[in-house]
Chain A
């Protein structure tokens, strides 16, 4: 969906109609200026701003004068300023227009040459699924090489943090090392059912933990605002809120 179309669907139930028009114009400008960002980040940004604006009108205002949309938007800052920040904090391998600095958690993903190669080789969810597939079962398809390909793809993947990449790297080594350690420490591990059960439980917990974390990080980048909104617990419709 283009940057501006979904603004019409934005709900601002606590904002008076006239102020809502001004707010939507502001959100439209943010969405248009953020068109270089991935759709998920653009929508997440707009959703957060919508919640901020709506909350400002819904909450008791501390000042003597009733809240105005101009005051709320002044405090939020200009669309340009907000989009510069969104660019700086983006986890996507895109450029940073306007020379925005990247945040302290950046792990080097802002390097232009690397971004180009990532953009060429990465196709969002398909790339992530292939990387995870190669990492987890690649060994059985092409012994050793399949796993190494998965590792390289995970480390080049733009959607995972360094911690998640480290977890992906040690996924198989830990799986292989644990039984070896057990066999070394226990003289006859097959005769010790408790050790076998503990080992099985550890391995059964280890795999879902790592895989779910990697899949979740990948899915977060691709999740659309629409689906996120429908899953919010306690989110009520405008009619119910007005009641």
Chain B
């Protein structure tokens, strides 16, 4: 199927929004990497496998959207905890507003003749 392939379109959408899903998870509370990866996978927001999130986390650190600290774990090796920076919070707020507008516009178009 070409342009109108729903599966491919949804995969692209997931890929395009996954960084903000990570920021949103961290907006709730700080999390360590394995937790972020697991929560994303169980939410259905992840387009592909869990390992593909690590390069994104590194990029978010580099961009100053998240910051990390290493903390001891009672059950295993020390864990790198991620939390939002003020820049990350502000980007998340902006994206939420934009996303709401975009989602409403698409919903209006998609469901106008569906009923």
Contact = CB atoms under 8 A, between A and B. Distances in A.
A52 B78 contact: no
A232 B64 CA distance: 19
B70 A233 contact: yes
Given A56-B34, A76-B49, A14 B59 contact: no
Interface in B39-69: 41, 48-59, 61-65, 69
Contacts of A76: 49-51
A82 B49 CA distance: 8
Nearest to B75: A59
Main secondary structure of the interface of B (DSSP, over half): helix
B62 A81 contact: no
Given A105-B63, A232-B70, A52 B76 contact: no
B78 A236 contact: yes
A221 B73 CA distance: 28
B55 A86 contact: yes
A136 interface: no
A110 to B, nearest CB: 13
A81 B49 contact: yes
Interface residues of A, number: 46
Interface in B79-105: 79-80, 87
B76 A234 contact: no
B24 interface: no
Interface stretch (A42-50, A123-131, A189-197): A42-50
A215 interface: no
B51 A82 contact: yes
B29 interface: no
Contact of A77 (B33, B52, B71, B77): B52
Interface in A55-79: 55-60, 75-78
Contact of B64 (A44, A103, A161): A161
Interface in A79-94: 81-82, 84-86, 88-91
Of B57, B69, B75, B76, which is in contact with the most chain A CB atoms at under 10 Å from its CB?
B76
A60 B37 CA distance: 17
A232 B80 CA distance: 9
Interface string A200-226: 000000000000010001001100000
A84 B48 CA distance: 11
A68 to B, nearest CB: 16
A58 B77 CA distance: 7
Nearest to B91: A105
